[in-house]
Structure 1
């Protein structure tokens, strides 16, 4: 193996730039040429490929987003699109790929390998933390810390006005951000996609809080919850309890941006370093993961077919601690 290419795909996540830096410099240290692909698989199809040097990744470890940019490509889902992508890679004599993204990214790499036998190693980059085969995905720690900081500030104004605040965090299919930020902020209720939500239970808890003269109530809800997010839940509560002052806040994409935490920077560096070493040693179609603070490798098939399950015991604990 002499030439590697690197791309980021899917949603951006803090820590991607730290991983890009680690991949590029580890490859160069090992005497390999390293190429960056802008805009993920679409950039591969379009030939947006450039040679990287050690200076290409200077002063990026602290930056959010991704210097390689990211995009979702419908064209790559077609045979014709993947053939174009392969031809572009062959023009640069690229014989290995490092991919930073989520399960959709790894699915694409798996199909590509079956058709063209091009080795690939993945690095899990998604704030949702829902990929099997790793305890943490890049960006999750930063996203949760961003949510915690915002919810703490919201609690201050909620207490000043004796209001109920419903805070919506990201998590269309997974409740990791909601669960962890809710516990960290002492939320009175946490709603996640993995568990059905009952409006009667929520109303009962609010009623219990009123009887105990607990005037501040923070509900953290994942965007993929049954109710359809914070605004829908606020309307539902006010239909039953119109006398209450209920407000909703959607944190949105601020959770994806910003400077990555120390944890995301260090783990991104470890994973980027391990990804190149895996390819050099002949491994392919595996994702670099972190388990009990140790680097492990999981097949793409496993990472794609399973989602990391939410710890429902933590959700039960959160309810007890908020009572």
Structure 2
């Protein structure tokens, strides 16, 4: 008799009927998926002071008697959302700030500004530096290391593109006269400049300018930025470095971006210290905003024909034909414009 004979299979079918098989329930597999997230109505708002290895330091109850910092992690749904110093974060969980406790960041409030940079001018991938700053203080040395006006131009372009008001401090003026360097920026409306020398740091004047504001400090390594931060916020104790006598370059001392509370005679504010950088890519910037950082040339450019590129070969360009425009300023502007023109071609 063959194995498929009906006389045997009828009885076997009863033994192996699928309806008799018990299936162990799997709640996770059977639960319908949903995109509905909890509203977190109990979340509190805090200022992100800094981040270290995936843990965020957040200030709760800012300006209240109950003000205190907490440590928080990032919620899973925010894994692709950049959370940076200066952000206003929504926190749930344990927000007591007690040792060993951990809150959770579940959302970010709308940002008033976002300062960014890229690896270079051809890189469209932006690196967020700080959120919600309303001022940028550019720190540059008159000497040791020598000032780099083109780098300062990039800072100013990034600030104006983000809607942030620029300020400038020139340090080490006892070593060199900064007059010639500062001529590069005479045309920028509203740019306030402070001069600092050994033993004569204008702490009170700078403090008055940053009181009531969130000010991000930027500068080339070795220009004295950390020294200035420590003078304004003594408890910060930011590491300071020196300039290499061979290369003329400063050593990176600030390794992370951090918000520090400033308290002075004119009131309180926020000092946002950033690591020193030797380059500042503008791959994320709208090219139309570049001219805004060159206020003197922007005024001359009003006489240019419509659609003028302001490049050296632009016909009837008022900037190229002007006898009043600073050659150094024109070269800096056109250098940036040429970079962006090349990027557009690709």
Bin of the TM-score, shorter chain as denominator length: under 0.3
Structure with the higher strand share, 1 or 2: 2
Query: Normalised by the size of structure 2, how large is the TM-score?
Result: 0.25
Query: Normalised by the size of structure 1, how large is the TM-score?
Result: 0.26
Structure with the higher helix share, 1 or 2: 1
Larger Rg: 2
Q: Which has the higher contact order (CA 8 A, sep 6+)?
A: 1
